[in-house]
Chain A
Amino acid sequence: MMESIRHSYHLVDPSPWPISGSLGALATTVGGVMYMHPFQGGATLLSLGLIFLLYTMFVWWRDVLRESTLEGHHTKAVQLGPRYGSILFIVSEVMFLFAFFWASSHSSLAPTVDIGGIWPPKGIGVLDPREIPFLNTPILPSSGAAVTWAHHAILAGKEKRAVYALVATVSLALVFTGFQGMEYYQAPSTISDSIYGSTFFLATGFHGFHVIIDETTSTPTLITSTLRPATGYAVLSIFTGMAIAEIELDAPRTNTVWLAEELRKEKRSVSLA
């Protein structure tokens, strides 16, 4: 028998998912380290950890959906929590990427004598910014524009248009990461090639990883809303509560990072010419 509540906060029931998520994350990190170093069974532990983690994500969010749609726990006050969480996450990411730009500028604007005082360091092949980077530059902001379209469609209650816009968002992001993958595959240098490779692949790699995260978080929303419209609408409404900050701030921010990176490449090719 449910007692009457005199406040708008969601006091959660005991759940196995926090501990199963923690174990999955532990297996993933340990397995990941083992996989990247010469240990036996690293790939197995990594795969198990990732499967466990994905399973936890699925069942945990399934429970969250039930709590919101069937039990009505997602009050205005509750929605504030993930909102502040998203904003803090984005602020932390801005600082994270700012550090990469600092590292890159520190190393390239006044190259030390240890790398011969020149940038790029001797023997390092440089990508031509007028090839794939130039092609990708309009693609990623288009994906950002499409997600803004999706957001406004959700706010206006136009569910079908929101789905179209999310399809466009994810497709453009997939094209972007496809080209990025191709560029990495054909790149003349690697992450272990001097400070140039380290700063370049750390920054562009984390940026690409971020785009992939955006794809993988948008896709389940999309699939749910297409296959099960009733649940899908709930997913979309949670999406508004939780992801408004994410969409509004993060997509333009990610694209700004990309554009800044492009400008940096462009400037470098000018200084080489």
Chain B
Amino acid sequence: MAEIELKTAPSDFRFPTTNQSRHCFTRYIEYHKCLNAKDDGSVDCEKFARYYRSLCPGEWVDRWNEQRANGSFPGPL
């Protein structure tokens, strides 16, 4: 029987507080910066995607994706 490994984002010393909103946002930014920097098909960025998906509420990600699509995303991308 294959063991299913359940893991959340590792603790990050930049975000020591209980509130992890900024951690989630930073990981989302890092994922998209990574995608921009790397060639297509690179698997290096996947860890950032796993991190933000386990940290961020789904609605936030949907909203940010929409904002990126229509050019109104406020973050430093």
A18-55 residues at the B interface, CB under 8 angstroms: none
Could you give, for residues 97-125 of chain A, a 1 whenever the CB lies within 8 Å of some chain B CB and a 0 otherwise?
00000000000000001111110011000
Chain A residues whose CB sits within 8 angstroms of the CB of B24 once the complex forms: 113
Residues of B within 8 A of A122 (CB): 74-76
Q: How far is the CA of A11 from the CA of B75 in the complex (A)?
A: 64
Kindly state the separation between the CA atoms of A116 and B68 in the bound complex, as whole angstroms: 12
Once the chains are docked, how many angstroms separate the CA of A115 from the CA of B74? 5
Contact A113 B22 (CB under 8 A): yes
| Distance in angstroms between the alpha carbons of A115 and B67 in the assembled complex | 12
Overall SS of chain A's interface: loop
Candidate in B29, B74, B76 with the most chain A CB atoms within 10 angstroms: B74
Q: How far is the CA of A117 from the CA of B22 in the complex (A)?
A: 8
CB distance from B24 to the nearest CB of A (A): 8
A68 to B75, CA, bound (A): 63
In chain B, positions 19-77 with a C-beta closer than 8 Å to chain A are 21-22, 24-26, 29, 73-76
- With CB as the reference atom, state the residue of chain A lying closest to B73: A116
In the bound complex, CA of A117 to CA of B76 (Å)? 8
Residues of A within 8 A of B76 (CB): 116-118, 122
Chain A positions 51-68 with a Cβ under 8 Å from a chain B Cβ? none
Q: Which chain B positions have C-beta within 8 A of A113?
A: 21-22, 24-25, 75
CA distance A113 to B75 in the complex (A): 8
Q: What is the chain A residue whose CB lies nearest that of B25?
A: A113
Closest A residue to B56 by CB, please name it: A113
Q: Chain A: which residue is nearest B63 at the CB level?
A: A114
Residue of A at shortest CB range from B26?
Answer: A117
| Closest B residue by C-beta to A116 | B74
Cβ contacts under 8 Å, A115 to chain B: 74
Question: Nearest Cβ in chain B — how far from A106, in angstroms?
Answer: 15
Residues 124 to 144 of chain A near chain B (Cβ within 8 Å): none
Cα distance A116–B72 in the bound complex, in angstroms? 10
Nearest to A121 among chain B residues (CB) is: B74
Q: How far is the CB of B68 from chain A (nearest CB, A)?
A: 11
Chain B residues with CB under 8 Å of A117's CB are 22, 25-26, 29, 75-76
B interface residues with partner A (beta carbon < 8 Å): 21-22, 24-26, 29, 73-76
Q: Can you name 6 A-B pairs with beta carbons within 8 Å? A: A113-B21, A113-B25, A113-B75, A116-B74, A116-B75, A117-B29
The 10 lowest CB-CB distance pairs between A and B, nearest first, are A116-B74, A116-B75, A113-B25, A122-B74, A115-B74, A118-B76, A113-B21, A117-B25, A121-B74, A113-B22
